[in-house]
Amino acid sequence: MLEELKKQVLAANLMLPQYNLVKFTWGNVSGIDREKNLIVIKPSGVPYEELTIDKLVVLDLEGNIVEGDLRPSSDTPTHIELYKRYKDIGGIVHTHSTWATIWAQASKEMPALGTTHADHFYGNIPCTRKLTEAEIEGDYEGNTGKVIIETLGDREVMAIPGVLVSCHAPFTWGKTPKDAVVNSVVLEETCNMAYHTVTLNKEIESLDQYLLDKHYYRKHGSNAYYGQK
């Protein structure tokens, strides 16, 4: 079942080591079939070089395993929370990529400081509050999803397709699993640039709104003119 989605999820997972976003088994990508309301996700702790299509796990949105012999990623409840709340999301990525994790560990929103950022993300990348002791000791991974939702609220999540979880690491998403990985790559690079920009010029502030608008809408929406039609 879901053969096409599984291929996409496998390919997207294999992009993580290719783009140097993960070490060992860290990180996971999932995708969703919105008609069947089923998700496909990487199994927990399986090395990328051993990952094959038949090792992927299929679950419903209550977290029940529908297909697969292996345990799903331990972060699965976080993915499910986001899929349930935001209906436009087609794929989700979680990594501990170096620069995005640095901003998450610093518990800082990552500011939009240039057009590299604005080409992809329509504003600062938010950082969640810390989870409370009760949230951590309870349904930790589900509560990680809930604190992301608390942070994002009703905003258009496809315009800023990523978040930093305080003391933890980033999550990104996209229309497809591959799009979500591309957003992880861009988040990693913009976090790298932003670290060095703010340490080079401590007075620097987020981009003017009109430059953000210009670059974002140059690539997104009905008036976009970047790329081929």
Marked catalytic residue, from 75, 86, 119, 179: 119
Q: Which is nearer to a second copy, 86 or 122 (CB)?
A: 122
Marked catalytic residue, from 54, 60, 139, 226: 226
Number of residues that bind a second copy (CB under 8 A): 61
Active site residue 226: yes
The binder of a second copy chosen from 52, 133, 221, 223 (CB under 8 A): 133
**Shortest Å, Cβ 36 to a second copy:** 26
Long-range CB contacts for residues 125-129, cutoff 8 Å, separation at least 24: 125/160, 125/162, 125/163, 125/164, 125/170, 125/187, 125/190, 125/191, 126/151, 126/152, 126/160, 126/163, 126/164, 127/103, 127/151, 127/163, 127/164, 127/165, 127/166, 128/163, 128/164, 128/165, 128/166, 129/166
Which of these ranges, 5-13, 83-91, 155-163, 193-201, lies near a second copy under the rule CB under 8 A? 193-201
The binder of a second copy chosen from 24, 35, 64, 222 (CB under 8 A): 24
Task: Compute the C-alpha angle 195/201/203, nearest 5°.
Answer: 110
* Matching residue, tokens 């518990």: 107
User: Which 101-130 residues touch a second copy, going by CB under 8 A?
Assistant: 101-108, 113-116, 130
User: Which residues neighbour 134 within 8 Å (Cβ) at sequence distance 6 or greater?
Assistant: none
The footprint of a second copy (CB under 8 A) covers 23-26, 43-46, 70-71, 74, 96, 98-99, 101-108, 113-116, 130-131, 133, 136-137, 140, 167-169, 182, 185-186, 189, 192-201, 204, 207-208, 210-211, 214, 218, 225-229
